[in-house]
Amino acid sequence: MGFDMKPEKEVISRKNHCKAKNPSPNSVNSVSNKKQKKKKKTMLTSRPRMVDSTADEITPVRRLFDTCKQVFSNGGPGIVPSLEKIQQLRDILDDMKPEDVGLAPTMPYFRPNNNGAEDLSSPPITYLHLHQCEQFSIGIFCLPPSGVIPLHNHPEMTVFSKLLFGTMHIKSYDWVVDAPMRDPKTRLAKLKVDSTFTAPCNASILYPEDGGNMHRFTAQTACAVLDVLGPPYCDPYSDPEGRHCTYFLDFPFDKFSSANGVVLRDEEKEGHAWLQERDDNPEDLNVVGALYTGPNVED
Ligand SMILES: [Fe+2]
């Protein structure tokens, strides 16, 4: 299993993958011949009407919420849902669009930073909270151009990320399990993803031990990412020993290798890096919360 959001060059438009739409009465070609009209009318009225009322009533975001409840019902720290459940949730996310959660690229959250070319700090990123319970959380990160979510981890979690619109660079790593620590805060990781993605593209999935559990998002244009976390992070105040977000800096393998005794062949070095833990509130983290105003997530 891996991080399978397709790179930009591999993205295949999903517009033609739409499910067949119910035929509309208006789509019946008009005919001038009255007999033909009468015949069509008879055919339409004599058939039993087949309406999928469930599909009509449930919005995409509500369908996402209901599916998350099923997928994570027996979840917990380090528990990966079954392949069938993962596919079920992935299918829902793959079809989701910005308008399904009340977003459009013209909204203020996505305006570029106007502080001038000298300002290299990340512009504010907005987090819209949709839902959190013990089993899972749903939220959306709204990034203006050049917005960065610094390198961070997802301890014991399975995470689904769906790029709703825009172009984003993702760099992600997994730990090298048997490598010695360089020091208590610096550990060897292998590169999983270093690619640019443009919506529409499939949802990506990361797992507790693989798939790119530590990742950094860099917005190349304004973009929005819908995130589903199972289980969610813990509140550091009420549960100081629980799953907390740790931030990292990544350094090239050669920076520390001589002091550590880890030996890699030259061709392997590019695919590895040292990740060093940072403070809880890194200075380049600039996320603000805002009220979600899209369609209702639950009753
Ligand atoms: Fe993340």
Counted residue by residue, the chain has a size of 299
Q: pLDDT digit string (tens) for 185-206?
A: 999 999 999 999 999 999 999 9
Compute the distance from residue 149 Cα to the ligand 1 centre, in Å.
8
Both tokens of 286, joined, read 């600039």
Cα separation, 52 vs 294, in Å, equals 24
Q: What pLDDT is recorded for position 115? A: 64
Compute the distance from residue 57 Cα to the ligand 1 centre, in Å.
32
Domains of the chain: 58-106+124-235+243-290 (2.60.120.10)
Compute the distance from residue 81 Cα to the ligand 1 centre, in Å.
18
User: Is residue 281's pLDDT more than 60?
Assistant: yes
Q: pLDDT digit string (tens) for 93-108?
A: 999 999 999 999 999 9
Top mean pLDDT of 14-18, 33-37, 51-55, 217-221 is at 217-221
Compute the distance from residue 74 Cα to the ligand 1 centre, in Å.
22
Both tokens of 149, joined, read 């979510």
Q: pLDDT digit string (tens) for 73-98?
A: 999 999 999 999 999 999 999 999 99
User: Is residue 158's pLDDT more than 80?
Assistant: yes
Compute the distance from residue 212 Cα to the ligand 1 centre, in Å.
10
- What b/e string do you get for 64-78 counting C-beta neighbours within 10 Å, with b at 16 or more? bbebbeebbeebeee
Compute the distance from residue 206 Cα to the ligand 1 centre, in Å.
9
Compute the distance from residue 215 Cα to the ligand 1 centre, in Å.
6
Compute the distance from residue 169 Cα to the ligand 1 centre, in Å.
13
Q: Give the β-pairing of 125-132 and 223-230.
A: unpaired
Compute the distance from residue 152 Cα to the ligand 1 centre, in Å.
6
Q: pLDDT digit string (tens) for 228-261?
A: 999 999 987 888 888 899 999 999 998 876 656 7
CB neighbours of 281 closer than 8 A, spacing ≥ 6?
Answer: none
Compute the distance from residue 210 Cα to the ligand 1 centre, in Å.
13
Cα separation, 218 vs 190, in Å, equals 19
pTM of the model: 0.79
Cα separation, 202 vs 90, in Å, equals 8
The residue with greater pLDDT, 151 or 20, is 151
Compute the distance from residue 216 Cα to the ligand 1 centre, in Å.
7
Q: What pLDDT is recorded for position 258? A: 60
Compute the distance from residue 153 Cα to the ligand 1 centre, in Å.
7
Q: Which residue has the tokens 């890096």?
A: 273
Compute the distance from residue 178 Cα to the ligand 1 centre, in Å.
24
pLDDT-based confidence at residue 207 (cuts at 50, 70, 90): very high
Which residues are 197's β-sheet partners? 168
Which residues are 152's β-sheet partners? 215, 247
Asked if 166 contacts 11 with a C-beta cutoff of 8 angstroms, the reply is no
Q: What pLDDT is recorded for position 257? A: 63
Compute the distance from residue 247 Cα to the ligand 1 centre, in Å.
10
The SS3 call for residue 34 is helix
Q: For the chain, how long is the longest CA-to-CA vector?
A: 90
Cα separation, 182 vs 132, in Å, equals 36
User: Is residue 143's pLDDT more than 80?
Assistant: yes
Q: What pLDDT is recorded for position 10? A: 34
Compute the distance from residue 6 Cα to the ligand 1 centre, in Å.
17
Q: Torsions phi, psi of 184, nearest 5?
A: -60, -15
